[in-house]
A and B are shown apart, each in its own frame.
Chain A
Amino acid sequence: MSPAVWTMDVFEKGNFVLLRLTLPLPPWPPTGRHDRYYDIDQILNTPGPRTDPAFLAGDGVKDFLRNQAKILVIGAGGLGCEILANLALTGFKDIHVIDMDTIDISNLNRQFLFRQKDVGQPKATVAAEFIMKRVPGCKVTPYFGKIQDKDDDYYMQFNLVICGLDSVEARRWMSATLVNLVDPENPESLKPLIDGGTEGFKGQARVILPTITSCYECSLDMLNKQTVFPICTIANTPRLPEHCIEWASVLEWPRVHGDKPKDTDDPEHIGWLYTVAAARAKEFNIEGVTWALTQGVVKNIIPAIASTNAIIAASCCNEAFKIATSSAAYLNNYFMLIGTDGVYSYTFEHEKREDCPVCGGESLDVSISSELTLEEFIDLLIERQDIQIKKPSLSTPTTQLYLQAPPQLEEATRPNLKKKVKELVAQNGEVTVTSTSLPFSLSLRLRFT
Chain B
Amino acid sequence: MSTSTAVEAQPDSKTRRYDRQLRLWAASGQSALENSRLLVISASATSTSILKNLVLPGVGHFTILDPATVTPRDAGNNFFLEGESSIGKSRAQEAVRLLAELNDGVEGKADTSSLEHILDTNPAYFASYTLVIAHNLEPKLLERLSTLLWADDTLPTLVVVNSAGFLGEFYIQFHEHTIIDSHSETAPSLRIDKAFPALYDYSTSLDFASMDPTDHTHVPYVVILVRALADWKAAHDGKPPQTAADKKAFKEAIRGMQVKSDEENFEEAEAQAYRCWTETGVPSDIAALFQDPQLSTLSPTSPPFFHLLEALRRFTLEPPHTLPLTSTLPDMKANTASYIHLQKLYKTRAEEEKAILKGFLSVPVDDVLVDSFVKNAHGLKVLRGKKYGTLNADSAALASNVASSSKAAAIHLALSALAAVGPQPTIETLTVAAQALLPPGTELPEDFSDAVGEMCVPFVLCFSSVSPMPRVSSPNADAVSPRFAHCSARSPTADLPNTAAFLGGLVAQEVIKMITKQYVPISSYCVVDLVETWTGTI
Give me the interface of A with B, judged by CB distance under 8 Å: 33-40, 42-43, 46-51, 53-58, 82, 85-86, 89-90, 105-106, 108-110, 112, 115-116, 134-136, 200-201, 205, 236-240, 267, 270-271, 274-275, 278, 281-282, 284-287, 290-292, 295-296, 301-315, 317-319, 321-322, 328-332, 335, 337, 339-343, 345, 347
Q: Judging by beta carbons under 8 Å apart, are B496 and A306 in contact? A: no
Q: Write out the residue numbers on chain B whose beta carbons fall within 8 Å of the beta carbon of A322.
A: 531
Q: Judging by beta carbons under 8 Å apart, are A314 and B533 in contact? A: no
Q: Write out the residue numbers on chain A whose beta carbons fall within 8 Å of the beta carbon of B534.
A: 335, 345, 347
Q: Judging by beta carbons under 8 Å apart, are A36 and B76 in contact? A: yes
Contact of A318 with B499 at beta-carbon distance under 8 Å, contacts A39-B73, A342-B523 already known: yes
Instruction: Decide if B263 is an interface residue (CB 8 Å cutoff).
Output: no
Q: Which of B492-510 contact A (CB under 8 A)?
A: 493-502, 504-506, 508-510
Q: 3 tightest A-B contacts by CB?
A: A36-B76, A49-B453, A310-B505
Q: Judging by beta carbons under 8 Å apart, are B83 and A112 in contact? A: no
B60 to chain A, nearest CB (A): 15
Q: Which of B505-524 contact A (CB under 8 A)?
A: 505-506, 508-510, 512, 519-523
Can you list 14 A-B pairs with a CB-CB distance of less than 8 A? A38-B77, A40-B76, A40-B496, A46-B490, A106-B17, A109-B19, A112-B56, A205-B533, A274-B8, A275-B7, A292-B22, A311-B506, A314-B500, A317-B501
Q: Write out the residue numbers on chain A whose beta carbons fall within 8 Å of the beta carbon of B351.
A: none
Q: Judging by beta carbons under 8 Å apart, are B498 and A86 in contact? A: yes
Q: Judging by beta carbons under 8 Å apart, are A311 and B24 in contact? A: no
Q: Judging by beta carbons under 8 Å apart, are A329 and B531 in contact? A: yes
How far, in angstroms, from A89 to B75 measured CA to CA in the complex? Answer: 10
* Cβ-neighbour of A115 out of B75, B101, B339, B465 (below 8 A): B101
Instruction: Decide if B235 is an interface residue (CB 8 Å cutoff).
Output: no
How far, in angstroms, from A152 to B73 measured CA to CA in the complex? Answer: 39
How far, in angstroms, from A3 to B461 measured CA to CA in the complex? Answer: 26
Q: Write out the residue numbers on chain A whose beta carbons fall within 8 Å of the beta carbon of B450.
A: 49-50
How far, in angstroms, from A35 to B74 measured CA to CA in the complex? Answer: 9
Q: Write out the residue numbers on chain A whose beta carbons fall within 8 Å of the beta carbon of B530.
A: 315, 318
Q: Judging by beta carbons under 8 Å apart, are B24 and A201 in contact? A: yes
Q: Write out the residue numbers on chain B whose beta carbons fall within 8 Å of the beta carbon of A55.
A: 465
Nearest-CB residue, chain B, relative to A329: B531
* Cβ-neighbour of B508 out of A48, A285, A306, A312 (below 8 A): A306
Q: Write out the residue numbers on chain B whose beta carbons fall within 8 Å of the beta carbon of A278.
A: 7
Q: Write out the residue numbers on chain A whose beta carbons fall within 8 Å of the beta carbon of B496.
A: 39-40, 43, 90
Q: State which of B135-143, B283-291, B329-337 sits at the interface with chain A.
A: B329-337
Instruction: Decide if B384 is an interface residue (CB 8 Å cutoff).
Output: no
Q: Judging by beta carbons under 8 Å apart, are A291 and B471 in contact? A: no
Q: Write out the residue numbers on chain A whose beta carbons fall within 8 Å of the beta carbon of B497.
A: 39-40, 85-86, 89-90, 317
Q: Which of B23, B54, B331 has the most CB of A within 10 A?
A: B23
How far, in angstroms, from A53 to B519 measured CA to CA in the complex? Answer: 43
Q: Judging by beta carbons under 8 Å apart, are B13 and A315 in contact? A: no
Instruction: Decide if B210 is an interface residue (CB 8 Å cutoff).
Output: no
Q: Judging by beta carbons under 8 Å apart, are B502 and A342 in contact? A: no
Instruction: Decide if B313 is an interface residue (CB 8 Å cutoff).
Output: no
Contact of A42 with B57 at beta-carbon distance under 8 Å, contacts A89-B76, A342-B520, A343-B537 already known: no
Instruction: Decide if B187 is an interface residue (CB 8 Å cutoff).
Output: no
Q: Judging by beta carbons under 8 Å apart, are A337 and B183 in contact? A: no
Q: Judging by beta carbons under 8 Å apart, are B465 and A57 in contact? A: yes
Contact of A89 with B509 at beta-carbon distance under 8 Å, contacts A82-B501, A112-B56, A310-B504 already known: no
Nearest-CB residue, chain B, relative to A309: B505
* Cβ-neighbour of A34 out of B71, B182, B493 (below 8 A): B71
B20 to chain A, nearest CB (A): 4
Q: Judging by beta carbons under 8 Å apart, are B533 and A319 in contact? A: yes
Q: Which of B336-389 contact A (CB under 8 A)?
A: 336, 339-340
A242 to chain B, nearest CB (A): 9
Q: Write out the residue numbers on chain A whose beta carbons fall within 8 Å of the beta carbon of B11.
A: 291-292
Q: Write out the residue numbers on chain B whose beta carbons fall within 8 Å of the beta carbon of A53.
A: 466-468
Contact of A43 with B491 at beta-carbon distance under 8 Å, contacts A36-B75, A285-B340, A309-B505 already known: yes
Instruction: Decide if B122 is an interface residue (CB 8 Å cutoff).
Output: no
Q: Judging by beta carbons under 8 Å apart, are B339 and A307 in contact? A: no
Chain B window 52-70, contacts with chain A (Cβ cutoff 8 Å), 1 for yes, 0 for no: 1110111000000000000
Instruction: Decide if B10 is an interface residue (CB 8 Å cutoff).
Output: yes
Nearest-CB residue, chain A, relative to B6: A278
How far, in angstroms, from A237 to B331 measured CA to CA in the complex? Answer: 12
B29 to chain A, nearest CB (A): 11
Instruction: Decide if B392 is an interface residue (CB 8 Å cutoff).
Output: no
Q: Judging by beta carbons under 8 Å apart, are B334 and A237 in contact? A: yes
Nearest-CB residue, chain A, relative to B332: A239
Chain B window 465-488, contacts with chain A (Cβ cutoff 8 Å), 1 for yes, 0 for no: 111110100000000000000001
Given A82-B501, A86-B498, 4 new contacts (CB under 8 A): A40-B494, A314-B502, A318-B502, A342-B520
A224 to chain B, nearest CB (A): 13
Q: Judging by beta carbons under 8 Å apart, are B533 and A47 in contact? A: no
How far, in angstroms, from A47 to B487 measured CA to CA in the complex? Answer: 12
Q: Write out the residue numbers on chain A whose beta carbons fall within 8 Å of the beta carbon of B340.
A: 239, 284-286
Q: Judging by beta carbons under 8 Å apart, are A314 and B501 in contact? A: yes
A36 to chain B, nearest CB (A): 3
Q: Judging by beta carbons under 8 Å apart, are B101 and A42 in contact? A: no
Q: Write out the residue numbers on chain A whose beta carbons fall within 8 Å of the beta carbon of B9.
A: 271, 291
Instruction: Decide if B449 is an interface residue (CB 8 Å cutoff).
Output: yes
Contact of A49 with B449 at beta-carbon distance under 8 Å, contacts A270-B10, A331-B532 already known: yes
Q: Judging by beta carbons under 8 Å apart, are A305 and B535 in contact? A: no
